[in-house]
């Protein structure tokens, strides 16, 4: 599984970080960073929640 973020859409509002801090981080520069582009399958439920919760629909999962 691969986590993909459309940074043109992303507003770095940290909703995804609140759901899956193992994968997403908004830093002091107010930009979103993907900490693990290929997270373990065990995180899929959290990541699906992050995809659904993103207000800008900027996150998707591949694979």
Every domain of the chain and the residues it spans: 2-62
How far apart CA 32 and CA 37 sit, in angstroms, is 13
Are 5 and 56 in contact, with CB atoms under 8 Å apart? no
> Residue 44 has what pLDDT?
98
Q: What confidence category does residue 39 fall into, taking pLDDT thresholds of 50, 70 and 90?
A: very high
Q: Which segments of the chain are extended strands (E)?
A: 2-5, 24-26, 32-34, 59-62
pTM: 0.95
Give the pLDDT confidence score for residue 4 in this predicted structure: 98
| Residue 48 structure tokens | 């699906």
Nearest alpha-carbon partner for 39 in 9, 8, 61, 12: 61
Into which CATH architecture does domain 2-62 fall?
Answer: 2-Layer Sandwich (3.30)
pLDDT grade, residue 9 (50/70/90)? very high
Mean per-residue pLDDT, 35-46: 98
Of the pLDDT bands very low, low, confident and very high (cuts 50, 70, 90), residue 17 is very high
């Amino acid at each position: 599984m691969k986590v993909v973020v459309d940074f043109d859409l992303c507003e770095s509002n940290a909703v995804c970080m609140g759901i899956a801090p193992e994968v997403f981080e908004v830093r002091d520069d107010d930009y979103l960073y993907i900490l693990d582009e290929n997270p373990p399958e065990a995180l899929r439920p959290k990541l699906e929640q992050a995809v659904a919760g993103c207000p800008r629909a900027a996150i998707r999962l591949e694979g």
